[in-house]
Amino acid sequence: SQQGEEDPQALSIQEGENATMNCSYKTSINNLQWYRQNSGRGLVHLILIRSNEREKHSGRLRVTLDTSKKSSSLLITASRAADTASYFCATDKGAQKLVFGQGTRLTINP
Amino acid sequence: NAGVTQTPKFQVLKTGQSMTLQCAQDMNHEYMSWYRQDPGMGLRLIHYSVGAGITDQGEVPNGYNVSRSTTEDFPLRLLSAAPSQTSVYFCASCSPTGGIYGYTFGSGTRLTVV
């Protein structure tokens, strides 16, 4: 069974708009990570947020974590065509055993 | 650095055949894992290792074996291929020092079992 569930499953927006993806999980975690996967490629690590952190930024990415609600969100600001990809959250309960959600497929329209 | 290298990139097997998917990393990472990804789904953990000589089962280990004789290599063996093992397989590695950089993934092996 998968720990994370992502919402929405698919998201289509215009270039320049912001994109928000959500992730919910079921049990306590050490950290939560977000990955990007371009079509037919491997996953690329985007950002990691620890269980004692509430918000983290990296360039155009903003991640929030609410451990009381067992949820996280990924915000991509000022989207670009190159941001078109699938985005996965992954929870780490220890020993780096990541459990992935099913992903959000993001399409940026020019 | 090459990162995580997986071979082959594509493979077609007949039901019942065995094969080994190779994975090598040159980052001196202690942690390595194998995942499979089925269409429209996230990744599911098959086996993982926290260091040379140490392996453990993940979520979907049946039908697969692993070994970790060196830090660099973590091969995945399919014992008797079945159509249900048709999938894309990803190997990944990570440093255990807080894991702040997350996992580095290989580019995947696309396996079809007929």
Instruction: Give the residue on B whose Cα is nearest the Cα of A42.
Output: B107
Q: What is the pLDDT of residues A65-76, one digit of tens each?
A: 999 999 999 999
Q: Which residue has the tokens 């959000």?
A: A104
Binned at pLDDT 50, 70 and 90, residue A1 comes out as very low
DSSP 8-state assignment for residue B103: P
- A53 in contact with B, Cβ within 8 Å: no
Q: What is the pLDDT of residues B7-24, one digit of tens each?
A: 999 999 999 999 999 999
The predicted pLDDT at position B41 comes to: 76
Binned at pLDDT 50, 70 and 90, residue B100 comes out as low
The answer to whether the Cβ–Cβ distance between B41 and A92 falls below 8 Å is: no
Residue A2 is nearest to which of B42, B99, B100, comparing CB atoms? B42
Binned at pLDDT 50, 70 and 90, residue A3 comes out as low
Binned at pLDDT 50, 70 and 90, residue A95 comes out as low
Question: How many other C-beta atoms are found inside a 10 Å radius of the C-beta of residue A77?
Answer: 14
Cα(B50)–Cα(B72) distance, integer angstroms: 12
pLDDT averaged over chain A? 92
AA letter at A95: A
The answer to whether the Cβ–Cβ distance between A102 and B104 falls below 8 Å is: no
Q: What is the mean pLDDT of residues A23-38?
A: 92
Q: Is the peptide bond between B83 and the residue preceding it cis, with omega within 30 degrees of 0?
A: no
The predicted pLDDT at position A96 comes to: 66
- At residue B97, does pLDDT exceed 70? no
Cα(A74)–Cα(A56) distance, integer angstroms: 10
- At residue B101, does pLDDT exceed 80? no
The predicted pLDDT at position B95 comes to: 84
Cα(B31)–Cα(A34) distance, integer angstroms: 18
Residues belonging to chain B? 114
Cα(A35)–Cα(B67) distance, integer angstroms: 27
Q: What is the pLDDT of residues B37-89, one digit of tens each?
A: 998 778 999 999 999 999 999 999 999 999 999 999 999 999 999 999 999 99
**Side-chain half-sphere exposure of A90, counting CA atoms within 13 A:** 29
Percent of chain B with pLDDT over 70: 94
The answer to whether the Cβ–Cβ distance between B50 and A96 falls below 8 Å is: yes
**Cβ contacts of residue B47 below 8 Å, gap of 6+?**
B33, B34, B55, B56, B57, B58, B61, B64, B65, B66, B76
AA letter at A73: S
Instruction: Give the residue on A whose Cα is nearest the Cα of B99.
Output: A96
Cα(A68)–Cα(B81) distance, integer angstroms: 43
Question: How many other C-beta atoms are found inside a 10 Å radius of the C-beta of residue B35?
Answer: 26
- Interface A–B counts its CB contacts (< 8 A) at 67
Residues of chain A found within 8 Å of residue B59, distances taken between Cβ atoms = 1, 99
The predicted pLDDT at position A93 comes to: 73
Cα(B63)–Cα(B58) distance, integer angstroms: 12
**Of A97, A18, A66, A55, which is closest to residue B103 (Cα–Cα)?**
A97
Q: Is the peptide bond between B8 and the residue preceding it cis, with omega within 30 degrees of 0?
A: yes
The CA-atom distances, in angstroms, between B88 and each of A20, A42, A98, B76, B107 are: 27, 10, 17, 13, 10
- At residue A12, does pLDDT exceed 60? yes
